[in-house]
Structure 1
Amino acid sequence: MRVAYLSASGRIGGAERALLDLLASLRAAEPDWELHVVVAGEGPLAERAAALGATVHRFPMPRLLEALGDAGGGSRAALLARLLAAAPAGMLWLRRLRGLLRSIAPGVVHTNGFKMHVAAAMAMPERARLVWHIHDYVAARRVMASALRHFADRPAAAVAVSRSVADDVRRVCGAGMRVETVYNAVDLDRFTPEGDRIPLHALAGMPPEAPGTVSVGLVATMGLWKGHDVFLRAISLIPRELPVRAYVVGGRIYATAGSEVDPDELREMAGALGIADRTGFTGFVEDSAAVMRSLDVVVHASTQPEPFGLVIAEAMACGRAVVVSAAGGAAEIVSDGADALAVAPGDAAAMAAAIGRLIGDADLRARLGIAGREKAKREFDRARLAREIVPLYRSLGM
């Protein structure tokens, strides 16, 4: 089997971590398979994929095409203008992509990211089978929803990261599309309760926490809907007498214009809320497992339904108590009160109450952490990925 994976980004976000986990799982299960990764952006993904034994093809996307997207909203007219500006370079890049795929001659082309779903649909070599790996909701993206609906007859199958995403794909692309739900996974040898930690206070330029302080962190990309503002408002609602240090861990990673919040604006917001003295901003940290272990509580604050919530699974694997904005795929993978505390998305008061409850109850933090680790071992072990993806590939007749 020869498989070509196409990634629109070279940086490491949730979708890219999921791709690396899939590569690792397939390499262990099918060592004779030939795995190729086409990386369209700058960043560490190429090196990480090569370390897993994949043949990497660096294939930079034109800047105008890289920045094109509808994640940040905006008018149709403005988006159309950007699309027209990107079209000449984009068509040349597509012709080159078609040539690259012909030279690889894969049996399966497995795409990561909306732009790559569309690009592969337009550049597929003959006799190859196309698989879209859907990590985000389609219907919320007006232009991409139209594009995927238009090309819905091209993929032989789609992989959705949750039942919620699978339902969304069928609504957009039609009930006739084959959609398989495959939850994301976690490297349980890396994401463990024991291991290295990181002095988050030093990264944030703050003094060490006083003894007894409970560290609470939002670990996320700077995506507009990741709920940074909700998290900050929640921290501001926690009584001053409770010993808490909050951290915002993450930085900008995507090139799509208008898709991320400005970290400087978040710092200004923390100051305006009066919590600058107990809220640190670390920027992007490569070792996310060490970050999890450095926190007592991990908060997931997405304001929109979460397609899956990889950070939730990773925090559980590290034995950390988790507060979850329970909607979409995130609601599928936690049980409120048993392995996490669930709140409604966007409800800063409810989030503050959940965080405050965990600050004051070390036994509850420990119980949730133990239960989360057990769930991760049962449901999120990345060895499962090959067991689910290999039969899918084989069923395509390759």
Structure 2
Amino acid sequence: MILTTASASAGGAELCLADLVAAGVTGARLDVILGGSGQLADLIRERGLVPQSITPPNRLAQLGDAMTASHFLGRWTTLKRALLTLGAAWSHRRALHRVWHERTPAAVVTLDLKTHLLAVGAIPSASSLIWWMHDDPSIRPLTTPLLRRAVSLASRHPGGFGVVTCSHFVARQVQRALNPPAHVPILPIVNPIDLERLLGEGRHSPSNHTSSWGASSARTAGREVGGDGGSGARVRIGLVATYARWKGHEVFLKALAALPSRVVERVEGVVVGGPIYRNPQSQWSRGELEQLADQLGLGQPGRPSVRFRGHIDNPAKVFDDLDVVVHASTRPEPFGRVVAEALALGLPVVTPGLGGAAEAAGLDRNPGWDQVASQQAYRVHETCVTVPPNDPQALAEALIRLIEDEPLRHRLAQSGPAFARAAFDLSRLPDQWSEAIARVRASARARRRHIDPRFLDSDSCSSSISP
């Protein structure tokens, strides 16, 4: 089984790849092809596997339409760039084709949209093709028609074709946007978290503190506001995200600027993350965000300070020194890994809960939670606090509540880890992926025999998986 991505950076999807390498797949040997060396390659090596690097040409790596295709000029510019990229795409496809055919794995699993498209017709006929979807295809006006056509072609692949999604939300979006034939299985495998690795490092580690809330209390203790006999410990509120423009940095900074004077000296804002993509149009630069913070007056008298920590390689240490985590994405998340990790570490979370983030926070267990939340500035749930999307004032009100209500922070810090342990258990992953591959191969056999795949039982899906 070969996991293939054009990326070399460690975003959410790539961290899930690293977790799968750590967990393994029952009955399969894993190989990994990455889009270059770097942090992701280091993470794979730490998990005992040496990846192969096939770096895509810069012109291909920098192509993207998620943000630039929302208006006519943006679509035309992106389309023109795509046409100029055809040669680079063909060259990269040939390099992948050569490796895939040399190894002839039981399955080729692709992680990103470009590799999804390039793999169609390029893998051995005996290998199954599985798209591991970590994206909502409906938000990409130019790529979606290509994906829809690719699904039609891949559905006839002799070795079988299927889609594994990182959440039930993405599974629904794939069905709606790509409308695959009935015999193509769409299989949600909710992203697990390597909790042992996450909890074993950083200040939130149980080895450093008796409980997650104990960790939070220990961090805030002693950070008393000086100079005026302040009324409480400083609360560090962090946005943890890549610099993608839809991750809500502007919303977060505006919410900090809207905090009233009574809490300003008890708050420090922290922005954790950085630009990790090779497409500059799709992400902020640090200079742009610092300029926005200056324009909002952050750090000036009467306004909270904000600190930019940059990208941090160790996922566990991302949350060090934070007391509250803000997840402010302005469009639905495919999954929301930051939400899951923060809950596992016992940190209170504020989120719009859009898309897969609702699953990451356990909100989907309560039907109608989003309708209720949309009628209020914020709402407190068992595991988190929700706010309407793209609403700095509502986010500010939720933060005021968490700053001033220490028992609420305590309760959320207690409930998050219990939910995360139950929901994101990495030990389930090997069997889930083994069953997914067997399901794809069984569906291909059923199609050849003209059997409706909806009537396949578990026995007919079972099969051995060779490397």
Q: TM-score, normalised by structure 2?
A: 0.78
Amino acid at match of 2:83: L
Offset at 1:143? Answer: 1.8
Corresponding residue for residue 9 of structure 1: 7
> Residues of 2 paired with 1:370 and 1:314: CA distance?
14
Offset at 1:55? Answer: 4.1
Q: Residue 371 of structure 1: which of 412, 415, 419 is its match? A: 415
Corresponding residue for residue 237 of structure 2: 216
Corresponding residue for residue 140 of structure 1: 139
Q: Residue 25 of structure 1: which of 20, 23, 28 is its match? A: 23
Q: Following superposition of structure 1 onto structure 2, how do residues 316-331 of structure 1 map, counting pairs within 5 Å?
A: 316-331=343-358
Does the CA-based 8 Å contact 1:293-1:318 persist in structure 2? no
Q: What SS class does the counterpart of residue 312 from structure 2 fall into?
A: coil
Does the CA-based 8 Å contact 1:267-1:276 persist in structure 2? no
> Residues of 2 paired with 1:193 and 1:106: CA distance?
34
Q: Does 1:165 align with 2:170?
A: yes
Offset at 1:359? Answer: 0.6
Q: What SS class does the counterpart of residue 137 from structure 2 fall into?
A: coil
Amino acid at match of 1:56: P
Offset at 1:180? Answer: 1.0
Amino acid at match of 1:144: T
> Residues of 2 paired with 1:70 and 1:251: CA distance?
20
Does the CA-based 8 Å contact 2:14-2:40 persist in structure 1? yes
Does the CA-based 8 Å contact 1:209-1:245 persist in structure 2? no
List runs of 5+ in structure 2 lacking aligned partners: 156-160, 206-221, 226-232, 364-379, 442-464
Offset at 1:70? Answer: 0.4
Does the CA-based 8 Å contact 2:204-2:345 persist in structure 1? no
Q: 1:126/1:39 Cα in 2 relative to 1: closer, same or farther (>3 Å)?
A: same
Offset at 1:347? Answer: 1.1
> Residues of 1 paired with 2:386 and 2:246: CA distance?
17
Q: Tell me the matched-pair count.
A: 384
Q: Residue 241 of structure 1: which of 247, 255, 262 is its match? A: 262
Q: What SS class does the counterpart of residue 355 from structure 1 fall into?
A: helix
Corresponding residue for residue 461 of structure 2: none
Q: Does 1:312 align with 2:333?
A: no
Q: Does 1:228 align with 2:273?
A: no
> Residues of 2 paired with 1:379 and 1:309: CA distance?
13
> Residues of 2 paired with 1:311 and 1:362: CA distance?
22
Q: Following superposition of structure 1 onto structure 2, how do residues 246-285 of structure 1 map, counting pairs within 5 Å?
A: 246-276=269-299, 278-285=305-312
Q: 1:88/1:333 Cα in 2 relative to 1: closer, same or farther (>3 Å)?
A: closer
> Residues of 2 paired with 1:327 and 1:387: CA distance?
29
Q: Does 1:60 align with 2:58?
A: no
> Residues of 2 paired with 1:197 and 1:269: CA distance?
31
Corresponding residue for residue 216 of structure 2: none
Q: Does 1:189 align with 2:212?
A: no
Corresponding residue for residue 34 of structure 1: 29
Corresponding residue for residue 203 of structure 1: none
Does the CA-based 8 Å contact 1:194-1:293 persist in structure 2? no
Corresponding residue for residue 202 of structure 1: none
> Residues of 1 paired with 2:139 and 2:394: CA distance?
26
Q: What SS class does the counterpart of residue 63 from structure 2 fall into?
A: coil
Corresponding residue for residue 350 of structure 1: 394
Q: Point out the more displaced range, 40-49 or 60-69.
A: 40-49
Does the CA-based 8 Å contact 2:201-2:316 persist in structure 1? no
Offset at 1:394? Answer: 2.3
> Residues of 2 paired with 1:86 and 1:122: CA distance?
19
> Residues of 1 paired with 2:195 and 2:283: CA distance?
30
Deviations 1:350-371 (A, max 9, x none): 1111111111112111110111
Corresponding residue for residue 119 of structure 1: 118
Corresponding residue for residue 45 of structure 2: 50
Percent identical pairs in the alignment equals 35
Offset at 1:226? Answer: 0.2
Corresponding residue for residue 201 of structure 1: none
Of structures 1 and 2, the larger Rg is shown by 2
Deviations 1:164-210 (A, max 9, x none): 21111011221523211111111111333984379xxxxxxxxx964
Deviations 1:288-347 (A, max 9, x none): 312324210000000011111000000001010000112211123334521100111101
> Residues of 2 paired with 1:209 and 1:88: CA distance?
57
Q: What SS class does the counterpart of residue 79 from structure 2 fall into?
A: helix
> Residues of 2 paired with 1:193 and 1:43: CA distance?
23
Amino acid at match of 1:88: G
Q: 1:258/1:222 Cα in 2 relative to 1: closer, same or farther (>3 Å)?
A: same
Does the CA-based 8 Å contact 1:161-1:307 persist in structure 2? yes
List runs of 5+ in structure 1 lacking aligned partners: 199-207
Deviations 1:33-77 (A, max 9, x none): 321111113422122213323341110001111111102214332
Does the CA-based 8 Å contact 1:4-1:37 persist in structure 2? yes
> Residues of 1 paired with 2:315 and 2:43: CA distance?
15
RMSD: 2.0
Judging by fraction of residues, say which structure has more strand.
1
Amino acid at match of 1:100: V
Q: Point out the more displaced range, 66-75 or 16-25.
A: 66-75
